[in-house]
């Protein structure tokens, strides 16, 4: 057999252990998962009700064009319906962008520590991903511009950036968009944008009328609390959206996902409350890190990257033994772990476990 040469070296995605597995293996009653930036407050009760109501339609294919949800998003953001495309999570929109734009030998530009799916999907298409070092944990847009060549097709900006949580501001984005060649598509991944409270944060949608070569990605997996349903979307120029639709599978988002997302969009009170509780959680965690003399990156999403002053994998394992699952393995930041902001109770348990773990390694003593 002769598989694509671009994929034979790729690792198979290794999902983290499930909560039940960790409970069983470690003999723990309680596990707190702060590893995947899920919403600790769940989702809107209206979304749950909408899912229940779809059960009797489970045997019927979903609306492939997601007409009702598209109309709701178009109205919410004051864009045309032909500017929106849905995916099975924004993961699938990332995949479709690579599928639509990249062939072997093309180049794309990302930060060197960012959401890994940009490079992963580029690799599958045989494209070269040029990874530009983050500066103080933040996208270095000048260096990314300097990396543009004749072969560059896509530039990925994750704002806020996963895993560092940092943002680029309006002025930086504007300067960048003015200078980037029109033939290069800029993908602004705003998976965590609803959490941001910083005034300088740019809303990617504002720039769409001006720049045909800009697309913003959003998701129902984070603040909307619907990660298991797999639904996210891109908003961009109709020509770009049409190209993505040309490679889209006919029924790529489920009935349950569409119905829940539609109900969730109409419950903005839930979103505001989650944003408020998350900001409170960030303040609490930052205060505790200061007490423990740990430095962390500015956190603008629903997670925080903290330097634990010790090999991250060991601290990750020590936390796991205490029932707290976090995320290590960030190649550029080997002593940092990324922790999702949880509920107040979860955050307190995490801090207690972190303090005990650091004492085991004699960090800060
Ligand atoms: C920056 C970023 N983009 C996209 C995604 C994909 O999210 P989903 O496919 O659940 O919409 C994630 C998930 O963690 C993310 O952190």
CATH number of the domain that 74 lies in? 3.40.640.10
Instruction: Ligand 1, residue 115: give the atom nearest the CA.
Output: 1
Report pLDDT for 362: 79
Q: Which of 91, 161, 168 to mutate to test ligand 1, by most ligand atoms within 8 A of the CB atom?
A: 91
Q: How far is the CA of 189 from the centre of ligand 1 (A)?
A: 8
Report pLDDT for 81: 98
Residues ≥6 apart with Cβ < 8 Å to 88: 230, 231, 232, 252, 253, 257
Q: Residue 307 is part of a domain; what is its CATH number? A: 3.90.1150.10
Q: Which of 13, 89, 96, 300 to mutate to test ligand 1, by most ligand atoms within 8 A of the CB atom?
A: 89
Residues 292, 179 share a domain: no
Q: How far is the CA of 25 from the centre of ligand 1 (A)?
A: 28
Please give the average per-residue pLDDT across 267-274, as a whole number.
98
Out of 23-37, 78-92, 132-146, 296-310, least confident range = 23-37
From 210, 222, 163, select the one nearest 182 (Cα to Cα): 210
CA–CA gap between residue 293 and residue 303 (Å, rounded): 19
Q: How far is the CA of 216 from the centre of ligand 1 (A)?
A: 13
Q: Classify residue 7: in a domain, yes or no.
A: no
Q: How far is the CA of 187 from the centre of ligand 1 (A)?
A: 13
Structure tokens of 337?
A: 């772990």
From 38, 69, 45, 37, select the one nearest 254 (Cα to Cα): 69
Q: Is the pLDDT of residue 271 over 90?
A: yes
Q: Which of 162, 230, 341 to mutate to test ligand 1, by most ligand atoms within 8 A of the CB atom?
A: 162
Residues 183, 129 share a domain: yes
Q: How far is the CA of 117 from the centre of ligand 1 (A)?
A: 9
Ligand 1 proximal residues by C-beta, below 6 Å: 37, 89-91, 115, 158, 162, 189, 191, 219, 221, 227, 232
Q: Do strands 295-296 and 232-236 pair parallel, antiparallel, or not at all (unpaired)?
A: unpaired
SS3 assignment, position 113: coil
Instruction: Ligand 1, residue 91: give the atom nearest the CA.
Output: 9
Bridge-partner residues for 339, per DSSP?
304
Q: How far is the CA of 90 from the centre of ligand 1 (A)?
A: 6
Q: What is the mean pLDDT of the chain?
A: 97
Q: Classify residue 298: in a domain, yes or no.
A: yes
CA–CA gap between residue 358 and residue 269 (Å, rounded): 39
Q: How far is the CA of 191 from the centre of ligand 1 (A)?
A: 6
Q: Is the pLDDT of residue 364 over 70?
A: no
Give 258's Cβ-side CA count (13 Å radius): 24
Dihedral angle over CA of 321, 327, 331, 332, nearest 10: -120
Residues 183, 159 share a domain: yes
Summarised one tens digit per residue, pLDDT across range 243-257 is 999 999 999 999 999
Residue span of the structural domain in which 108 resides: 45-266
Q: Classify residue 77: in a domain, yes or no.
A: yes
CA–CA gap between residue 137 and residue 297 (Å, rounded): 7
Residues ≥6 apart with Cβ < 8 Å to 268: none
Residues ≥6 apart with Cβ < 8 Å to 83: 74, 208, 235, 236, 237, 238, 241
Residues 209, 92 share a domain: yes
Residues 281, 258 share a domain: no
Summarised one tens digit per residue, pLDDT across range 154-176 is 999 999 999 999 999 999 999 99
Backbone angles phi, psi at 213, to 5 degrees: -95, 30
Q: Is the pLDDT of residue 365 over 70?
A: no
Q: Which of 39, 90, 228, 340 to mutate to test ligand 1, by most ligand atoms within 8 A of the CB atom?
A: 90
Instruction: Ligand 1, residue 93: give the atom nearest the CA.
Output: 9
Q: Classify residue 143: in a domain, yes or no.
A: yes
Q: Classify residue 189: in a domain, yes or no.
A: yes
Report pLDDT for 141: 98
What percent of the chain is modeled with pLDDT above 90? 95
Report pLDDT for 21: 87
Count of the separate structural domains present in the chain: 2
Structure tokens of 42?
A: 């769940």
Report pLDDT for 17: 74
Q: Classify residue 1: in a domain, yes or no.
A: no
Give 240's Cβ-side CA count (13 Å radius): 26
Q: Are 302 and 161 in contact (CB under 8 A)?
A: no
Q: How far is the CA of 186 from the centre of ligand 1 (A)?
A: 17
Instruction: Kindly report the protein residue whose alpha carbon is nearest to atom 16 of ligand 1.
Output: 162
CA–CA gap between residue 233 and residue 67 (Å, rounded): 13
Summarised one tens digit per residue, pLDDT across range 209-231 is 999 999 999 999 999 999 999 99
CA–CA gap between residue 248 and residue 99 (Å, rounded): 9
Summarised one tens digit per residue, pLDDT across range 32-49 is 999 999 999 999 999 999
Bond preceding residue 163 cis, omega within 30 of 0: yes
Instruction: Ligand 1, residue 114: give the atom nearest the CA.
Output: 1
Count other Cβ atoms within 10 Å, centred on residue 145: 17
């Amino acid at each position: 057999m002769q598989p694509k040469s671009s994929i034979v070296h790729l690792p198979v995605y290794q999902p983290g252990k499930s909560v039940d597995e960790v409970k069983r293996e470690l003999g723990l009653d309680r596990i707190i998962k702060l590893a995947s930036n899920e919403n600790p407050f769940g989702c809107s009760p209206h979304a749950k009700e909408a899912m229940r109501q779809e059960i009797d339609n489970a045997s019927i294919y979903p609306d492939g064009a997601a007409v009702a949800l598209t109309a709701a998003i178009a109205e919410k953001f004051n864009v045309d319906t032909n500017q929106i495309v849905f995916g099975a999570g924004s993961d699938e929109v990332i995949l479709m962008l690579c599928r639509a734009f990249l062939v072997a030998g093309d180049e794309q530009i990302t930060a060197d520590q960012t959401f890994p799916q940009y490079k992963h999907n580029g690799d599958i298409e045989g494209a070269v991903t040029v990874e530009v070092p983050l500066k103080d944990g933040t996208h270095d847009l000048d260096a990314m511009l300097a990396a543009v060549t004749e072969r560059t097709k896509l530039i990925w900006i994750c704002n806020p950036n996963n895993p560092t949580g940092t943002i680029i501001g309006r002025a930086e984005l504007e300067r960048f968009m003015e200078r980037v060649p029109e033939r290069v598509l800029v993908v602004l991944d705003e998976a965590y944008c609803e959490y941001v409270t910083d005034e300088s944060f740019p809303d990617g949608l504002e720039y769409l009328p001006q720049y045909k070569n800009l697309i913003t990605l959003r998701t129902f997996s984070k603040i909307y609390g619907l990660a298991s349903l797999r639904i996210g979307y891109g908003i961009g120029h109709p020509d770009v959206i049409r190209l993505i639709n040309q490679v889209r599978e006919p029924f790529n988002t489920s009935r349950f996902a569409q119905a829940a997302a539609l109900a969730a969009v109409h419950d903005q009170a839930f979103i505001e409350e989650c944003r408020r509780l998350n900001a409170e959680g960030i303040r609490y965690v930052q205060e505790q890190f200061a007490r423990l003399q740990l430095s962390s990156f500015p956190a603008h999403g629903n997670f925080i990257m903290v330097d634990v002053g010790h090999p991250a994998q060991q601290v990750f394992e020590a936390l796991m033994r205490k029932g707290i699952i976090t995320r290590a393995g960030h190649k550029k930041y080997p002593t940092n772990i990324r922790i999702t902001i949880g509920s107040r109770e979860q955050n307190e348990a995490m801090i207690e476990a972190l303090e005990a773990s650091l004492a085991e390694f004699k960090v800060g003593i």
